[in-house]
Amino acid sequence: MNPLQDRGSQESNRLELPAPTVWPMIAALGVTLMASGLVTHAIVSAVGVLLALMGAVGWWKDVFPQERVESVALRPDHERARPVVVSPATVEHLRLGEAGHRVRVPVEVQPYAAGIRGGIIGGLAMAAVALLYGLVAQDSVWYPINLLAGVAIPGMAGLSSEGLRAFSLPALIIGVIVHGVISVLAGLLYAVILPMLPRRHLLWGGLVAPLLWTGLVWATLGVVNPALNARIDWVWFIASQIAFGLTTGFVVSRAQPIATMQTWPLAARAGVETTGIDLGRERDR
């Protein structure tokens, strides 16, 4: 065999790469010490200047007059990856939204009115279960109302069982306000969160969310108001929360969803009057 051909074959199976060097790190350390000396001591900056010069000179010698390289052996041909074969099949690109831009989840949201309506109806369902508990377990519909008022009136939790069964106008007013506000806010939360959850909205809103909410209330009351925490029948409490979750989730999920503005054309989102775009139709969506 021709020695020149053998040498050429060996060179084709090797690749020259820049040789590893430590000088860039030394130069970087020197620059760091130079800056550190501005807030510490001049000696630190002096050491940094020395290291930076050493790193720069060493790095320069690795490049000039001839770059230092090392020869790396390549894998044999039978061990290398095969060439990529171009497929004649076409790929259908995902195109979401009318403008074709990226779409953030959710694409559709529930109207806030549905959340308010669901919160009110769910609050009524929860109140019905709570009043049923008062009649069955305490022989008084005022017992759960007075307990709820204990959230805002600390002294209510310390009353005797007979005192909690008695009618109290301030407790009734405060209980209705607290229950109404919390129900509406929870309904709005359902309208915002349910579209972002997977399917089976009734499962998430009617079972998972009430259990999580009950656990949070139980843990919080155990620290903030242990007396009130001890007076609550948690089995009935969970039942009332599930009633609220199922009712609110059903009302919210049955509402007509509204497409978010991200699916609108740019001109419609910017409010520009232009031909070819029915802005009235876009606003109604």
Give me the pLDDT at residue 280, please.
Answer: 47
Which amino acid is it at 160?
Answer: S
Give me the pLDDT at residue 233, please.
Answer: 87
| Residue-wise burial string across 206-232, b where 16 or more C-beta atoms lie within 10 A, e elsewhere | bbebbeebbeeeeeebeeeeeebbebb
Give me the pLDDT at residue 198, please.
Answer: 64
Give me the pLDDT at residue 223, please.
Answer: 79
Give me the pLDDT at residue 165, please.
Answer: 86
The span from the CA of 13 to the CA of 151, in Å, is: 80
List of long-range contacts for 150-157, beta carbons under 8 Å, 24+ apart: 150/225, 150/228, 150/231, 151/178, 151/225, 151/228, 152/178, 154/225, 156/228, 157/225, 157/227, 157/228, 157/231
Report how far apart, in Å, the C-alpha atoms of 280 and of each of 98, 111, 154, 268 are: 16, 18, 53, 10
Give me the pLDDT at residue 25, please.
Answer: 94
Domains and CATH numbers, the chain: 16-70 (1.10.287), 108-254 (no CATH)
| Residue-wise burial string across 64-96, b where 16 or more C-beta atoms lie within 10 A, e elsewhere | eeeeeeeeeeeeeeeeeeeeeeeeeeeeeeeee
What tokens does 201 get? 């909205």
Helix axis angle, 112-137 relative to 234-254, nearest 10°? 150
From first to last of its 285 residues, what are the pLDDT tens digits of the chain? Answer: 444 445 455 556 788 888 888 999 999 999 999 999 999 999 999 999 999 999 999 999 888 888 888 888 888 877 778 888 887 877 666 555 545 556 666 677 788 898 899 899 999 999 999 999 999 988 888 988 888 888 787 777 778 888 888 888 888 898 899 889 999 998 888 888 877 776 666 677 777 888 888 888 888 877 777 877 788 888 888 899 889 888 888 888 888 887 777 666 666 667 666 555 554 444 444
Q: Is 157:227 a contact under the CB 8 Å cutoff? A: yes
Which amino acid is it at 153?
Answer: I
Q: Is 244:160 a contact under the CB 8 Å cutoff? A: no
Give me the pLDDT at residue 5, please.
Answer: 47
